[in-house]
Amino acid sequence: MTSPSEGRQVKAPIVAGGHTRIRPFNTRDTYPEQNLDNDLCQAVVAGNTMYVRGQIGQNLDTNESVGIGDAEAQAEQAMANIKMLLEEAGSRMEPCSTGRSRWPGPAWTEACRAGER
């Protein structure tokens, strides 16, 4: 499977128990500085519902942080990640019914909202 954003190879979705796991990864590879070894994924499709893991300003193809100290750049990256995950699951942004944003404080609110647009 190839990432639509970067043209990079990504792990194919895993189907188990009727659920599809999008972008599976192991914490050992993603967070090498920590002593972790857990199989996780960025999103799960169950029936006609998709659950997306909390997204941050991190490039999902390279695991690199984006926009350190720049709330708008981080919000833009997080929303780009969500868009990419929806597309990889065969969906798009338009039918999304709910979402929740969390910011570290009031000073970040406007910049983060700009990144969500």
What is the value of pTM for the model shown? 0.72
How high does pLDDT run on average in the chain? 83
102 pLDDT more than 70: no
pLDDT at 36: 94
Long-range contacts of 80-84 (CB under 8 A, 24+ apart): 80/5, 81/42, 81/55, 82/52, 82/55, 84/3, 84/4, 84/5, 84/60
Greatest mean pLDDT among 26-30, 39-43, 99-103 lies in 39-43
- Report percent pLDDT > 90 for the chain: 56
Mean pLDDT of 68-94: 92
